[in-house]
Structure 1
Amino acid sequence: MKERLLIADVRMPDGMRVDVSVVEGKIDAIGPDLRAENTVARENGNGALLLPGFVEGHTHLDKTMWGMRWYCNSVGPKLTDRIENERRFRAESGHDAAAASLALARAFLQMGTTRLRSHVDIDTDAGLKHLEGVLKTRDTLRDVLDMQTVAFPQSGMLKREGTVSLLDDALHAGADVLGALDPALIDGDPVASLNATFDLASRHQKPIDIHLHEPAEIGAFTMNLLLDRVEALGMQGRVVISHAFCLGALPPRERDPLLERLAQLNVALLTTAPASVPVPPLAVCIEKGVTLFGGNDGIRDTWNPFGSPDMLERAAQIAMRYDLRRDDAIAMAFDCVSDAAARGCGFADYGLHAGARADLVLVDAETVAHAVAARPVRKLVVANGRVVARNGRLIEDL
């Protein structure tokens, strides 16, 4: 017998009152007055707003201390200070990536996130230990949380001997995406670093998601080198550039040709919308046809005491960073943690339409903008056709 669920009386983002029929984890139909068979489990939405399950496009589940004791941060100001401090802390404290990632992943589900991309440190000291922990979490929640893991060299590709070999091992072990970091400013040789990255990705037929913090002209130089390789190797639609701070610092005459190349090669951008550094211009990216989506980065870790598994909160931060105030503009911020994030990460069968995976969130809000601004309790969260949270509380058997 097919598993069926009917969610009655909900409002689509356009205001239309509908029912949603779910069969075997997929949306079977959306429309008014759908007929329920005797075998249907039924939920009454009571006119709540229906949203698609949220997408976290960039986080670091392995690093988090969510739900643990407060970490007192006294680290130095440089990127390398934070990298070395974190490596030392994790080794000395015995930080457990399996337990940490499971706690935060469950919190994401509770708040309505059903698709998630997590970068995971691949380190010459720790080896694949952190990845193994996150892969356990991915396996534990595989029926409800669609999780991608990125094998991420937190110290760069070339700085520590053996990193490329470990990344090769990580992709063999089940990592979905190959990460990279600042080829010029961390590795000191952007050509060799990018060559190693694209060679490894090509051999494994894996997509790439690179952290690019490099500023202004340095970042633009690296980005052009990267785009040259995307074009030469036919990797259109398989590369994400995370952060891309340089695009927020360049004048339009230098920035716009880069955005046009990004659009032509279908290379997506990820922003966490930080307040302290330049960010890629959202409106111009949309105008040029570039996919720009959102994520938290680290949440409550040695780098950063902030962040939350609530993607409505991240959408609100994106809206504030880009000074979005109109309802239609705030809906663009929500797109960054929903449709655009699904496109950027390559999550298939996403959205509110028949045939999509049944990832649904109900909230008491009048519009999408209202939901982003008010961040109401999640009345119901459905992941892959299964009710996983109700009235802000996770179902305990997950």
Structure 2
Amino acid sequence: MTSAIRPLVISNVRLADDPSGQPVSVSVAGGRIEAIGPNLAPPPGALVEDGGGALLLPGFVEGHTHLDKTHWGRDWYVNEVGPNLTDRIANEREFRKASGHDAGVQSLALSHAFLAAGTTRLRTHVDIDTDAGLRYLEGVLGTRDTLADVLDMQIVAFPQSGLLIRPGTEKLLGDALAAGADVLGALDPALIDGDPAGSLNATFALAERYGKPIDIHLHEPGEVGAFTFKLLLDRVEAMGMQGRVVVSHAFCLGALPEPTALLERIARLRVALLTSAPPSRPVPPLKRCRELGITIFGGNDGIRDTWTPFGMPDMLERAMLIGMRYDMRRDDDLALAFDCVSAAGAQGCGFADYGLHAGARADLVLVDAETLAHAVVARPVRKLVVSNGRVVARGGVLAGAA
């Protein structure tokens, strides 16, 4: 249930895009930014915060994570899984079945950590398969309901074990979309399902039936991935899904010797790309994508689960890792890395009313940093986090609204 929100004025903060460094104030009412400017007077009854000269940033956007899988806050998981994608899928499925992994408890724990570090918008993929049915989805839906006032969460119904190779999954995906999932997921139509045309046909038919966008994991390498990508673009064009499809990972785009023609078609069809900027895999050419007008944004992927011991619910760290992976050293390049976990993330996921302007949802983060580039590389503790007009964290620790 949405509770009443006190008006809020934060004074003495600096804007990253203002070279003068002059302090401004931000006034917030009804969960929205009313104004940003010098010396704004607080209305009667407003909560007043002194920003102490901190840098003001918009709330961060996590574009791709897996809240249902995480072991965040639990004992260390000893990872002995094999090297193949199919090894990791089978290992996780068996572990979760044997351990009684509680997706509701774990997704809430990781969501709290995201909030404390300044993430106010988040897209999570949730496994739907014939072993678990909708159990993991139900847990994450509970977390979304619990944090509805302070965390804008999109849920992707994701067939982690494959679609066509596990009969019954297609119906479960439809049930998940009917139950509240926002986006239809998909996975490696050629290398997992073994039938790229059939897998994509089933995915696009489901999306059309339920009126949902698509976010597909595409790990397939090189020419195999490019072939699948072209089949996907054919369906985007034929079914009028322009602007409603995200391709996550898209490793093939970083392995092709000359991807320009494919990138140009991706741009024309307004297909967005998600990268976690992994150090060990090819990555889409970020700057070339931006030059062509492709929305490319960032996410962590899994965090502390059976797949990986790595990851932190800190989007400033993810921006830093994007900067390192793409050899970004200039301050303007680091601003581009930050855009991947802020405005571009909001655009790629379709989060509305984002940014630091009047009328935007009041998602604000204060950090003690000289510049935006400094914030990305130093990743200072979040001095204050405001989500949907509510103070949710101070000094990196959750506050009452969360």
State the TM-score, normalizing by the size of structure 1: 0.98
Displacement of 1:114 in angstroms is 0.1
User: SS at 1:36's partner residue?
Assistant: coil
Equivalences for residues 305-384 of structure 1 within 5 A = 305-384=309-388
User: SS at 1:143's partner residue?
Assistant: coil
Partner of 1:92: 98
User: SS at 1:92's partner residue?
Assistant: helix
Partner of 2:278: 274
User: SS at 1:47's partner residue?
Assistant: strand
Quick check: 2:390–2:401 contact (8 Å CA) kept in 1? Answer: no
Counterpart check, 1:167 vs 2:170: no
Equivalent of residue 7 in structure 1, options 5, 10, 18: 10
Equivalences for residues 44-63 of structure 1 within 5 A = 44-63=50-69
Equivalences for residues 208-357 of structure 1 within 5 A = 208-252=214-258, 255-357=259-361
Displacement of 1:375 in angstroms is 0.3
Q: 1: distance between equivalents of 2:384 and 2:313? A: 16
Q: 2: distance between equivalents of 1:324 and 1:397? A: 36
Quick check: 2:7–2:30 contact (8 Å CA) kept in 1? Answer: yes
Q: 2: distance between equivalents of 1:45 and 1:139? A: 31
Displacement of 1:355 in angstroms is 0.5
Question: Is the alpha carbon distance of 1:2 and 1:166 closer, same or farther for their aligned partners in structure 2, counting shifts above 3 Å?
Answer: closer
Partner of 1:151: 157
Q: 2: distance between equivalents of 1:235 and 1:18? A: 42
- Give RMSD over aligned pairs: 0.9
Residue identity opposite 1:20 in structure 2: V
Deviations 1:261-315 (A, max 9, x none): 1111111000000000100011101111111100000000000000000100000
Displacement of 1:397 in angstroms is 5.5
Displacement of 1:120 in angstroms is 0.1
Runs of 4+ in 1 over 3 A off after TM superposition: none
Quick check: 2:267–2:294 contact (8 Å CA) kept in 1? Answer: yes
Runs of 5+ in structure 1 lacking a partner? Answer: none
Equivalent of residue 76 in structure 1, options 55, 64, 82: 82
Deviations 1:137-191 (A, max 9, x none): 0000000000000000001210101000000100000000000000001000000
Q: 2: distance between equivalents of 1:311 and 1:267? A: 23
Deviations 1:225-270 (A, max 9, x none): 1011111111111100000000000012xx1111111111111000
Equivalent of residue 124 in structure 2, options 88, 112, 118: 118
Q: 1: distance between equivalents of 2:107 and 2:41? A: 41
Q: 2: distance between equivalents of 1:74 and 1:179? A: 27
Partner of 2:190: 184
Displacement of 1:36 in angstroms is 1.5
Question: Is the alpha carbon distance of 1:2 and 1:100 closer, same or farther for their aligned partners in structure 2, counting shifts above 3 Å?
Answer: closer
Q: 1: distance between equivalents of 2:100 and 2:161? A: 20
State the TM-score, normalizing by the size of structure 2: 0.97
Displacement of 1:395 in angstroms is 1.1
Deviations 1:321-348 (A, max 9, x none): 0000000001100000000000000000
Residue identity opposite 1:23 in structure 2: A
Partner of 1:194: 200
Question: Is the alpha carbon distance of 1:94 and 1:2 closer, same or farther for their aligned partners in structure 2, counting shifts above 3 Å?
Answer: closer
Runs of 5+ in structure 2 lacking a partner? Answer: none
Counterpart check, 1:389 vs 2:402: no
Identity %: 73
Equivalences for residues 15-30 of structure 1 within 5 A = 15=18, 16-30=22-36
Residue identity opposite 1:82 in structure 2: R
Residue identity opposite 2:207 in structure 1: A
Quick check: 2:150–2:401 contact (8 Å CA) kept in 1? Answer: no
Q: 2: distance between equivalents of 1:37 and 1:396? A: 22
Partner of 1:128: 134
Residue identity opposite 1:21 in structure 2: S
Equivalent of residue 109 in structure 2, options 103, 106, 120: 103
Higher mean alpha-carbon deviation, 8-17 vs 190-199, is at 8-17
Q: 2: distance between equivalents of 1:109 and 1:87? A: 28
Displacement of 1:17 in angstroms is 2.2
